[in-house]
Amino acid sequence: MTDIALDNLELQELRIQDGEYDGTDTTDTGDCLPFSSVYNTVGFKEREAKVFLSCPITAKILEVERHTSRHNRSFPTRQRSESKSVPALYRIEMKHGEFMWTVKRKEKHFTDLHRDLRTHKALMKIPLTRSYSVRRTLPPNEERHMPSLPKGEENKQTRAESRKKQIEDYLNELLRMPLYRNYHAMMEFIDASQLSFIHDLGPKGLEGFVLKRSGGHRIPGFKCCGGSKICYRWSRRWLVVKDSFLLYMETDSGAISFVMLFDKEFNIKMDPREMKTKHRIRVNSLSRSLVLKCSSYRHACWWGQAIDDFVKKHSSAFLKDHRFGSFAREEKDIPAKWYVNGKTYMEDVADALEAAKEEIFITDWWLSPEIFLKRPVVEGNQWRLDCILKRKAQQGVRVFVMLYKEMSWALGLNSGYSKRTLRKLHQNIKVMRDPDHVYLWAHHEKIVVIDQSVAFVGGIDLAYGRWDDREHRLTDVGSMMLSHLEQAQAAASLSAPANGSSSEGNAGGFTHTDGKGINTLLDMMDQPKIKGKKKRTGLSIRKRLEKHSITFRHDSDSDLEEEEEKGPKVCGDPTGMGGELYGNTRFWHGKDYCNFVHKDWIQLDKPFDDFIDRYTTPRMPWHDIASVVHGSAARDVARHFIQRWNFTKRAKRKYRAPSYPYLLPKSHTTAQEQRYQVPNCINSKVQILRSAADWSAGIKYHEESIHNAYVHVIENSEHFIYIENQFFISCADNIHIFNKIGDAIAERIIKAYKEGKRYHVYVVTPLLPGFEGDINTGGGSAIQAVMHFNYRTMNRGERSIISQLRKEMGDHWINYFSICGLRTHAELEGRLVTELIYVHSKMLIADDNTVIIGSANINDRSMLGMRDSEVAVIVEDSETVASVMDGQPYQAGKFALSLRLDCFKTILGAYADPTIDVSDPVSEKFYKDVWMATCGRNATIYQKVFRCLPSSDVLSMTHLEGYLAKPGLDKEDPTRAHEELKKIRGFLVQFPMQFLCEQNLLPPIGSKEAIVPTEVWT
């Protein structure tokens, strides 16, 4: 191929002849660019780059300035005398669909653009390869020549307006022609990129090429390069400023190589003395100090001022320190919903995951890929977590999962197995584990975010043992199996010759072969009787089976309902040949059936193998609370996840590969465009809270907004507070304990006592900490260590809540303050069994109008911000309903009241006994005759029947053996034991305040628990 000199090309060659070029815009994206485009960026010079929408792009010159160089500013007289020869600077307003922005260009930029486009047109004619040929048919109305660049008139009297109009027409003509509009030089000229016109990223801000300096990141334990001139390096990047963040991209690959979220520390510095050099801008935030180099002083001023003005106009909400010191502001009219226990929570999570279109964010302290989100399992693997995620990934949804990387010698979570299992499902599923070198603290938050529009926040991990309902069953040895006729038919079908069709019906795991040619569902065991009435689920088994084309012989729903109420027999036709589905369904499969105080999890890579004997050991029920929020509040939850993800990507070398992309937050301006909403929500005022620090989120100052919110709500409560929490470690001595929640409770009660007002504090917490250990021998050292600090908060030591109250009111504290636990019982293989219900909730309700739900325990680990990472929501009601408080009419919040009523009815047994009135949480009748009477009576009965632990009758280890030697009624007189247990109402039991009160519960010297710093237990 001979070289062609551009100077030899004649002007005639600038004209576009018929059939010479394709006038069709191959990058047309329609009315809007999908948000998923952020994951498909390509090099800036690639023809596949999708930048513009289908609507036209127009330019309007707003004003013409005289470009003043730094030299001319030193000689103003000379400048005025030569003003007519000074080049013009055009301020141009661009418009493209809903987007408007401004660029500034000199005449030199126009001449450079014209030269580049002319060169581009010329090069397009050269057939470099056969596949590079672009000769196609032009539409009849396509422009057939490149517009000429207007030249300055020799007549000095020509008006500036005429010149401005000529330049404007020239630019608009170019923008109408796809051949030139889609050329990278034109995009650079108008400050446009592949991220400019994505609706969910908000308004278009400043864009363009800059030189950025390396370093400036705030990564604990690592000093980035950039501290001296010797270390740092400069790189050319494309900068994009949006309404809540800025980023820069690599032009060769189009990859996003850094994202800075705007926050309260955001500011722009342009002082040359501070920069130690000229033409530079420093952009500061909590996560980085980014230095940019510009081509001139004027360029630096324009960029610095433009970024600052845009951010202050569109991002003011992120630049403030919000209530409680939170990173997120209060959001009004947010659809919110609460969940008590994992059943309804996981069902809604499953439905929301199924509705995902673009992104799924998940972070958990522990995640079990094989967990079933909808139970009983009558639809095979349809609602198994890993199957849902794989299905969505195959549909193009990007799934991002962050797991806590535990210390394997201390915790048996096996997050490595979870990561490997999820990663191999599909390339669209990305999993990170963190941290590597932080040994004492954990990522403890539990978040699921769908398309940055729906966010689940609370205390429920998507993990084994968490699924439960208000029945809190102790046993699960049931099965679901096919009828004998159906098994015979299934066996016959298996032995029949293959007809070429695959057995897709069984691919989901609905049935499996037992090795004898019989298809069974799970196994063939009988379900024992359980405590409580059978409860029909919201979505009946009939409807679930009908989804899979399983028909029923019954003609009416009433017949089916009657059958369901009578027993576990369910009629169906899984084979399509007639038959019945009978037996009982397991709720907890394999590792999901657990009792972690009896035995911790093992062999998590074998998810469906039991690790405890479900015929001899009852499971430990799980009581938990969670929530879901939408809109702007969900955007804030997503923003927290994105900050953590991007920080981990920067901090850990293994995640710096392009296969782990940077995440971008969606704009709050589009937050109300809700594609999916969880049903039965209540509009409320919502604020997102968190505990975050340098190690967990890469921020300069730690945040403890959850702690601040708890203290504020307690101090300002008027009638009562109700707390459910996994831990109760507080009352600051500023030596071992620093959070002030316990002190705030004591002070608020003392205030009510001095004012002579009625006020109650209800606390529900586990009877034992959730660590493996045989309580019949005193429990393990870990259990006792946590018990020590729990009791130190409750009633032991001068800093405890009860000790503080006794100093002010003597024994009257009992009229204000109550601590309880939860326990239940059942019959297992013909014998009575009991077990505590593990309270894993992290919730506070105040005055039936304010609720805090999240992942934060009441201890220093969760509350101080510098330790475990946590997320919570505070929900304040905007809708009220008529209620009663202390015997008087009261306007209660719809969200808070409904949650409190459900909790009280569940634990007090009001669902089974409607005569129990829980409407007034402050009245003396309720407090003494219902709450205190129920917890006291239940505790006494359990003590008499089972001689269970913990018990206030056991003051030290020396008492333990004698206490256990005396049998309970369950062994001495089972008939009488059954009669006593009929008196039980609900699950509430009095907390054993004197259990091992004469024993030193701190870890003994020489034990591995004693080596661990005290902060681990607090």
Sign of dihedral through CA atoms 37, 42, 43, 44? negative
**Which residues lie closer than 8 Å to 333 by C-beta, 6 or more apart?**
631, 683, 685, 878
The model's pLDDT over 619-667, given as tens digits with 9 standing for 90+, comes to 999 999 999 999 999 999 999 999 999 999 998 888 998 899 999 999 9
The model's pLDDT over 360-370, given as tens digits with 9 standing for 90+, comes to 999 999 999 99
Coil, helix or strand at residue 941: helix
Q: In this structure, what DSSP letter does residue 762 have?
A: E
Q: What is the DSSP string of 200-247?
A: GG-S---EEEEEEES--B-BTTB--S-SSTTT--EEEEEEEE-SSEEE
Asked if pLDDT for residue 164 goes beyond 50, the answer is yes
pLDDT category, 611, cuts 50, 70, 90? confident
Q: Return the pLDDT at 273.
A: 61
Q: Return the pLDDT at 852.
A: 98
- 834 - beta bridge partners? 825
- 687 - beta bridge partners? 874
CB 315 within 8 A of CB 262: yes
Q: Return the pLDDT at 477.
A: 84
CB 850 within 8 A of CB 893: yes
* CA pair distance 255, 824, nearest whole angstrom: 56
User: Residue 370, Cα to own-chain centre: how many angstroms?
Assistant: 20
- What CA–CA distances, in Å, run from 11 to 118, 183, 668, 796? 10, 20, 51, 95
Q: Return the pLDDT at 117.
A: 87
Helices 741-755 and 801-809, axial angle in degrees (round to 10) = 20
Mean pLDDT over 102-110 rounds to 88
Asked if pLDDT for residue 377 goes beyond 90, the answer is no
* CA pair distance 266, 700, nearest whole angstrom: 12
Active site residue 978: no
Sign of dihedral through CA atoms 133, 137, 139, 144? positive
CB 860 within 8 A of CB 707: no
CB 899 within 8 A of CB 851: yes
Give the type of residue at 911.
Answer: Y
Q: Return the pLDDT at 145.
A: 64
Q: Return the pLDDT at 422.
A: 96
Task: Please state, for a pLDDT cut of 70, what percent of the chain lies above it.
Answer: 79
Which carries the bigger pLDDT value, residue 743 or residue 136? Answer: 743
**Of the residues 451, 469, 868, 886, which is catalytic?**
451
Q: What is the DSSP string of 522-533?
A: S---PPPP-SS-
Mean pLDDT over 453-468 rounds to 96
Sign of dihedral through CA atoms 420, 422, 428, 434? negative
Active site residue 847: yes
Q: In this structure, what DSSP letter does residue 328 have?
A: S
pLDDT category, 548, cuts 50, 70, 90? very low
**Of the residues 50, 96, 666, 842, which is catalytic?**
842
* CA pair distance 736, 759, nearest whole angstrom: 30
The model's pLDDT over 337-353, given as tens digits with 9 standing for 90+, comes to 999 999 999 999 999 99
Q: How far apart are the first and last CA of the chain?
A: 77
* CA pair distance 549, 232, nearest whole angstrom: 65
Active site residue 446: yes
Give the type of residue at 230.
Answer: I
Q: Return the pLDDT at 416.
A: 87
Nearest one of 225, 98, 253 to 662, comparing CA atoms: 253
**Of the residues 589, 668, 740, 840, which is catalytic?**
840
Lowest mean pLDDT of 393-397, 516-520, 717-721, 730-734, name the range: 516-520
* CA pair distance 656, 4, nearest whole angstrom: 43
Coil, helix or strand at residue 864: coil
Phi, psi for residue 444 in degrees, rounded to 5: -110, -5
The CA-based angle 385-387-388, given to 5 degrees, is: 65
Q: Return the pLDDT at 276.
A: 56
The model's pLDDT over 956-1003, given as tens digits with 9 standing for 90+, comes to 988 888 898 899 999 999 999 999 999 999 999 999 999 999 999 988
Cα dihedral: 294, 298, 303, 308 (round 10): 130
Q: Return the pLDDT at 780.
A: 79
Q: Return the pLDDT at 15.
A: 46
pTM: 0.86
Mean pLDDT over 179-188 rounds to 90
Neighbours of 178 (CB within 10 A): 19
Asked if pLDDT for residue 126 goes beyond 60, the answer is yes
Nearest one of 637, 660, 634, 646 to 698, comparing CA atoms: 646
* CA pair distance 423, 415, nearest whole angstrom: 12
* CA pair distance 1011, 1002, nearest whole angstrom: 12
Lowest mean pLDDT of 26-40, 896-910, 913-927, name the range: 26-40
Asked if pLDDT for residue 107 goes beyond 90, the answer is no
Q: Return the pLDDT at 152.
A: 56
Active site residue 526: no
Asked if pLDDT for residue 941 goes beyond 80, the answer is yes
**Which residues lie closer than 8 Å to 483 by C-beta, 6 or more apart?**
579, 580, 581, 582
* CA pair distance 651, 223, nearest whole angstrom: 11
- What CA–CA distances, in Å, run from 565 to 106, 243, 569, 1018? 81, 56, 9, 48
pLDDT category, 16, cuts 50, 70, 90? low
Asked if pLDDT for residue 190 goes beyond 80, the answer is yes
How high does pLDDT run on average in the chain? 82
Lowest mean pLDDT of 204-213, 454-463, 475-484, 656-665, name the range: 475-484
**Of the residues 386, 476, 847, 848, which is catalytic?**
847
Active site residue 966: no
Strand locations in 855-1007, DSSP E? 870-877, 880-885, 888-893, 988-990
Asked if pLDDT for residue 682 goes beyond 90, the answer is yes
Say how many CA atoms lie within 13 Å of 433 toward its Cβ: 17
Active site residue 842: yes
Q: Return the pLDDT at 138.
A: 44
* CA pair distance 684, 677, nearest whole angstrom: 15
- What CA–CA distances, in Å, run from 948 to 209, 607, 820, 939? 71, 31, 15, 10
Q: Return the pLDDT at 68.
A: 57
CB 284 within 8 A of CB 701: no
**Of the residues 430, 444, 591, 740, which is catalytic?**
444
Q: In this structure, what DSSP letter does residue 195 have?
A: T
Asked if pLDDT for residue 156 goes beyond 90, the answer is no
Nearest one of 254, 288, 229, 201 to 44, comparing CA atoms: 254
Task: Count each helix (H run) and each strand (E run) in the chain, helices first.
Answer: 28, 35
pLDDT category, 719, cuts 50, 70, 90? very high
Sign of dihedral through CA atoms 493, 498, 501, 506? positive
The model's pLDDT over 775-824, given as tens digits with 9 standing for 90+, comes to 777 667 888 999 999 999 999 999 999 999 999 999 999 999 999 999 99
Strand 625-630 and strand 454-458: the pairing is antiparallel
Q: 67: phi > 0 → left, psi -120 to 50 → alpha, else beta; which? A: beta
Mean pLDDT over 588-608 rounds to 85
Q: Which tokens in the block code for residue 670?
A: 């589009």
Coil, helix or strand at residue 741: helix
Q: Return the pLDDT at 302.
A: 85
Strand 519-520 and strand 581-583: the pairing is unpaired
Coil, helix or strand at residue 45: coil
Q: In this structure, what DSSP letter does residue 911 have?
A: T
* CA pair distance 931, 921, nearest whole angstrom: 9
Q: Return the pLDDT at 869.
A: 95
Q: Return the pLDDT at 123.
A: 82
Lowest mean pLDDT of 78-82, 516-520, 688-692, 755-759, name the range: 516-520
User: In what helix (H) or strand (E) does residue 114 lie, and over which residues does it extend?
Assistant: helix 107-124
* CA pair distance 349, 355, nearest whole angstrom: 10
Q: Return the pLDDT at 494.
A: 41
User: Residue 1011, Cα to own-chain centre: how many angstroms?
Assistant: 34
Nearest one of 938, 956, 755, 762 to 843, comparing CA atoms: 762
Give the type of residue at 682.
Answer: I
Asked if pLDDT for residue 514 goes beyond 60, the answer is no
